[in-house]
Chain A
């Protein structure tokens, strides 16, 4: 079982979360051509090492987060809110909830 430090709730069992996908994908604009969407939706690396992935704290605060996880060891290196604005607000706040 993974234990994921949710930036909002603290460390919780992974069973409270649901896996999203590859967090390094930049989704193209809706009007972008099919080729760009094919790249974003289907072309994925199978990373042996540290990868960025999105998870949702489904049975918790329901926030989407970006987890930096090593696929070989399951070690989690960092976690931040997927929403950039929230991530920077949290980074600036005096006492962020974080457990590593």
Chain B
């Protein structure tokens, strides 16, 4: 193949020379080149090695369907594998490398696979490596494990960098009236027609410049620049380098915008790519059509490409891809290119598989001075690293026979065209086989969606314009505008009919004819699959991997279908087509994740005391979405030292802890009491004003949903607290009840979690701390604020606050809430007072230790499988009133005696440690799920050894004084433990009530 850059023409800037590196060599192209056109102009023919057989491959197309020139772009961490050279814009300093070859694509040691091709035929992996039950662990699997590495090395594509992706990506959202996909003749006319009526139109084009198929035609014939200006003038929003990769429900399109992939030195503030969620009220798909290959011997040789590809290289990039050209076609579309290539100085022969062709087409061949043979087709290509000659076949009755040989350096193939119906297929619309046009055309849809141009099987340029116009008019009408008058052109438009041609072979000649070049699937593989009993196209696809490469069958699917139909003695529509799924072309994972990485992976919630906690020396940890203080280490302290000191200090004097993350719900209205009485399992009807009560709510199915305290503030107002973990769920449930089931209740619920900052003041000296901070010290006296008392008062500085004397730690304790903005100031005051009493700040770790000692449950215990009895709180549940869950909690299985019940756990040898997550087993029966599990452990400062909480069948009474094994096979092994009451410290609560 001798390619030549022409002296004029094309959409390239000859004044701008662009250097790039191909396999370590510096080459030059022009601004406006694709990597493919620049490589072609530099006469680089072998651009890749095939997946299994390591056959040399070159350019097969000029677009997204490319299956030969898959290369690796970039270096080091910026390496991007399997990039189609045809869609990569050239930029200065671009580094590209051939892949799947060693040491290079030109000299590849792995091509020896080619000689052993029969071992790698369809189903090779399955047959060789799948063990059959009951010998699954026999030879098959064992061999796979031995040879996997070798096979993966030999068969594969490019390799990704192992480092984190250094680029950044963005998510973006958009809205429009009309989305037009594709900027060819149909897309441009659709966008223009719609925008002229005032619709907000977005036109997306996957290439770097607008034009679509127009770019493949001689420039003199069009006024593209004027047309683009007209589009901009009517306000069409144009997005280039943007692929509509998927269509979803409700008119949502997924767009991938490649922002910097074409830039030599992208500004660091720019994202590499943007993933758009676009909501369009109407969508016109003017996605074009892809030219098909034909299966014949060595049809994958470099120097064989689609006829249209050569036209794109010629007219868009001003590269004549060969000198001595054979064009093999079965339809009219290849003749225009023949003329243009001849004009550009090439000698052209045409093989047309059709027996007879229209005179006008014959005249086109004559204009090109092209030798024309009808009823002829390519049989086998010669040449190792590029085509040098071609064996020709001639039609004889129903078969082909050998009919001579001709020299050539470029073979162009047109096997017909396949409309790009992929996006429509994403909407579940099956394409319909059009036997006259030998292609699938779009099926009908009721969605606000139209196909236009060659995507609808319309081949003629003028008809494409009308097709786009008609589609736009349908959009306008759908969106409430005037009725249009343009008739939708029927599919077709060639002068002579196409003669279907999928494979050329002659009896008795062994040919290597590729159906899916990217996955090295041959015609023989398809037939082998049929011989081995595969009749469904879906199974064929999986067995041969046809259509499962990065191009998703854009090149080979139809040939595969046709061969399968032939083998089965059926027609193509009876064999069916596979469903196209998003994405249309590959989308990088980076674009899908956008900025949701690292710290931005999920939302982060900080309390108003966050900075205060940090300044006080707190180490933070994640609790759900919340950042909460974990422990406050003094210099030299480990986390273990710190939390033990904090828990001890709290029990000895006083400790302060940020509890802002608890859920807080304002319950207001005359029926508030009724609501609470219905949702809590324990009685709330008679809770006096100024009192708080611990409550447990169940789900409809009778299991525990959440617990917390609710404070009665006034006749018609309560302040509910929930666990941190379930705050959202409880709020949504209350709203559901009030809006769907109990619409007669006059209650309003408001989430006020963000409005109040909360501090737990716990320990024997907690009341003294409060006394020093409130304006009226008498208000917090034991008489005025007894256990479970609630008080609305003011702190010094006239800060309104709510205080309840409630305890999670088992000490005399208070929860103090102030409006969020006052949080840090109040914390200053409380801490100054607490510090003067040798108090401490404590974090989640000490909080956990204190509550485990007391056997108080949290999310670790209330995991959704626990009944109120399991949690040891059954006596709280009312028998006198109905409430949510009261009917179903009485189901027999939930009353079983041997259900796992909450217990405390001590190590038998008090010096031992054990882990949360361990199973509790009877000695000698360390198997299965055991008898229970451990939910939480801590070193108990009060008891001086490790303790735990957990559940065990039958609970404390069943296992008291019996040997139990804490089994932790993966981490620690077994530990002998004993089961105790969950109330491991101060079981009578003297410290709390006192």
Contact = CB atoms under 8 A, between A and B. Distances in A.
Interface of A: 1-3, 13, 18, 20, 27-34, 36-38, 40-42, 54, 56, 58, 62-64, 73-74, 81-86
Contacts of A81: 739
A3 B740 CA distance: 22
Nearest to A63: B739
A2 B249 contact: yes
A30 B886 contact: yes
B382 to A, nearest CB: 52
Nearest to B427: A73
Contacts of A33: 887
Interface string B233-250: 000000000000000111
Contacts of A3: 249-252, 279
Interface string B107-124: 000000000000000000
A20 B888 CA distance: 20
Contact of A85 (B248, B743, B890): B743
A64 B740 CA distance: 7
A54 B732 CA distance: 12
Nearest to B731: A62
A34 B883 contact: no
A40 B699 CA distance: 13
Interface of B: 248-252, 277, 279, 428, 678, 700-701, 732, 735-736, 739-741, 743, 882-884, 886-888, 890-891
30 contacts: A1-B248, A1-B250, A1-B277, A3-B249, A3-B250, A3-B279, A13-B277, A27-B700, A27-B741, A29-B882, A30-B678, A30-B883, A30-B887, A31-B882, A31-B887, A34-B887, A34-B890, A34-B891, A37-B887, A37-B888, A54-B740, A56-B732, A56-B736, A62-B735, A63-B739, A64-B736, A73-B428, A74-B249, A83-B743, A86-B739
B277 A82 contact: no
Contacts of B428: 73
Question: Which residue, of A30, A32, A42, A74, has the highest number of chain B Cβ atoms within 10 A?
Answer: A30
A35 to B, nearest CB: 9
Nearest to B892: A34
A30 B884 contact: yes
Contacts of B741: 27
Contacts of B735: 56, 62, 64
Contacts of A36: 887
A18 B732 contact: yes
Contacts of A27: 700, 741
Contacts of B249: 1-3, 74
A37 B637 CA distance: 55
Contacts of B740: 20, 54, 64, 82-83
A64 B884 contact: no
Contacts of A62: 735
Contacts of A28: 887
Contact of B736 (A20, A42, A85, A86): A20
A30 B882 contact: yes
Nearest to A34: B887
A18 B887 CA distance: 27
B3 to A, nearest CB: 46
B48 to A, nearest CB: 37
A61 B888 CA distance: 32
Given A30-B883, A64-B735, A83-B739, A41 B888 contact: yes
Contacts of B248: 1
Nearest to A66: B740
A33 B888 CA distance: 9
Nearest to B887: A37
B888 A34 contact: yes
A61 to B, nearest CB: 11
A60 to B, nearest CB: 12
A18 to B, nearest CB: 7
A41 B739 contact: no
Contacts of B732: 18, 56, 58
Q: Which 4 A-B pairs have the closest CB atoms?
A: A3-B250, A30-B882, A37-B887, A31-B882
A26 to B, nearest CB: 9
B696 to A, nearest CB: 16
A37 B700 contact: yes
Contacts of B890: 34
Contacts of B701: 41-42
Contacts of B882: 29-31
Contacts of A13: 252, 277, 279
A37 B743 CA distance: 19
A31 B882 CA distance: 5
B425 to A, nearest CB: 15
A7 B741 CA distance: 19
Contacts of B700: 27, 37, 40-41
A19 to B, nearest CB: 11
Given A2-B249, A41-B700, 18 more contacts: A1-B277, A2-B250, A13-B277, A28-B887, A29-B882, A30-B882, A30-B886, A34-B890, A34-B891, A37-B888, A41-B701, A42-B701, A56-B736, A62-B735, A63-B739, A64-B735, A64-B739, A64-B740
Nearest to B729: A18
Question: Which residue, of B251, B678, B739, has the highest number of chain A Cβ atoms within 10 A?
Answer: B739
Contacts of A64: 735-736, 739-740
B621 to A, nearest CB: 26
A12 to B, nearest CB: 10
